[in-house]
Amino acid sequence: MSVTTEDNDNFLSLWKDFSQNTGFHGINKLSHSTNKLRLIIWSIILVACTTFLVMFVTTQIIDYYNYPVITNMYTETHSELQFPAVTICNLNSLKKSSILNDTRMENHYLKLSLLDEYATPTNWSDPFFKEQNFFEKRTLDNVLTDHKDYSQSWRFGERYLMPKEYESFLILRSGPCLTFNLNDKLTAQITGSNFNLNAWVNIDAANDYFGESYGSGLKFKVHDPKEYPDFDGISDYYVEPGREISATITKNEFEYLSKPYKAMANSYCREKSNSDGTDYYSTHCFKDCFARHMLTSCGCIDFTANKATASLLKTCDCPMSCKFTRKNYINLRIYFDQLKTIVSKQTPKYSAGEMFGMYYLIL
């Protein structure tokens, strides 16, 4: 089928009309140019600009669907701040005077300590272990009888506190620990070491037995009262006997965007709610995961850790929370130096409206 002269004229007329009225710059330079060199130059410019536009739009669309974020940091000032919880653990919590003086008992606790390589295999068929109730279910009170008492005095500001009202016992993987202000009752209105938490703790070093450490002393962690105080070795404090330590704390809040945005380079966070409506924390999740594994494997739940714990926890699906807050006699002084909150908040780098607006300006 041949193309008639009339068809060519109609096409040229349409092209001329389009090139003179389009908003695409440079098209009009091609419609009525009689100079071939000028026509070639404008054609190259037009092709280059079109290629750049396509590449730019493609790159922006790909970047948009990678869900990039911007992290904004700002400081909020307060007239008062809720005081965090403080969990204290004795590095040698076992009480020697409560442990039976027997080589089999000594070997058992040696095997649970850092000196386990010097222990011999335990003969569990020995009637001795049944006589000592090793196979009986143990309660919290029963476990605490083997461990040292936390003889301490609490002072917050200028008043002394009743220990029973503000302290709670928890059994962590390293043994029994004491948590102060677990119920989130205290508020700091004045800064400084003399006006916040002051604690005097007797570690009873003379009663040290095989512990999780080669030395004596305390470790403590400042944390959100709702969060399980898992000691990770990063935000922990260690104190020797006979020392005084002053720990300045700052309240930090982190707010991350949930999926499809990534909280970190290669991980997502989880919204702060469980199926039962309670707040989600990754430390609680790891604790429950570890307990379920122990229950499935051996029909019991152990409060101590072992060498397989670290590799086991890697199999747990416990991403970080999308929002969370971080914070012989030993004297602990834990205090706010400023009534401020440092907030780190993620926001999307692009919104759909911004993307369409940008393309409208380009075109």
Domains, in order of start, for the chain: 5-65 (no CATH), 74-99+146-327+330-345 (2.60.470)
Residue 125: its pLDDT value, please? 92
The CA distance from 103 to 291, in Å, is 31
Strands 151-156 and 197-202, bridge-based pairing:
antiparallel
Dihedral sign from CA coordinates of 204, 206, 212, 216: positive
Cα 219 to Cα 242: distance, rounded to the nearest angstrom: 14
- How big, in percent rounded to 5, are the helix, strand and coil portions of the chain? 30, 30, 40
Q: Is 148 helix (H, G, I), strand (E, B) or coil?
A: coil
Q: Which element (helix H / strand E) includes 131?
A: helix 127-131
Cα(51)–Cα(42) distance, rounded to whole angstroms? Answer: 14
Cα pseudo-dihedral 90, 281, 335, 181, rounded to 10 = -70
DSSP per residue, 36-102: HHHHHHHHHHHHHHHHHHHHHHHHHHHHHTT--EEEEEEEEE-S-EE--EEEEEETT-B-GGGS---
Condensed to tens digits (0 to 9), the pLDDT of residues 295-308 reads: 777 766 655 444 44
Q: What is the pLDDT of residue 152?
A: 74
Angstrom distance (rounded) from CA 283 to CA 285: 5
Q: How many angstroms separate the CA atoms of 47 and 280, rounded?
A: 54
- Cβ burial of 241 (10 Å; 0-12, 13-18, 19+) is middle
pLDDT < 70 stretches in the chain: 1-35, 151, 173-174, 232-235, 272, 274-277, 299-314, 323-331, 351-363
CA dihedral 50, 51, 52, 54 (to 10 degrees): 80
Going by DSSP bridges, is the β-strand pair 329-348/244-255 parallel, antiparallel, or unpaired? parallel
* CB 247, CB 331: distance < 8 Å: no
Q: Of the candidates 312, 323, 302, which has an alpha carbon nearest to the alpha carbon of residue 227?
A: 323
Q: What are the angstrom distances between the C-alpha of 290 and each of 213, 222, 298? A: 22, 23, 12
Our measurement of the distance from residue 36's CA atom to the centroid of its chain's CA atoms, rounded to an integer in Å, reads 66
Residues 6+ apart with CB under 8 A from 249: 84, 222, 327, 334, 335, 336, 337
Nearest to 196 by CA among 206, 187, 207: 187
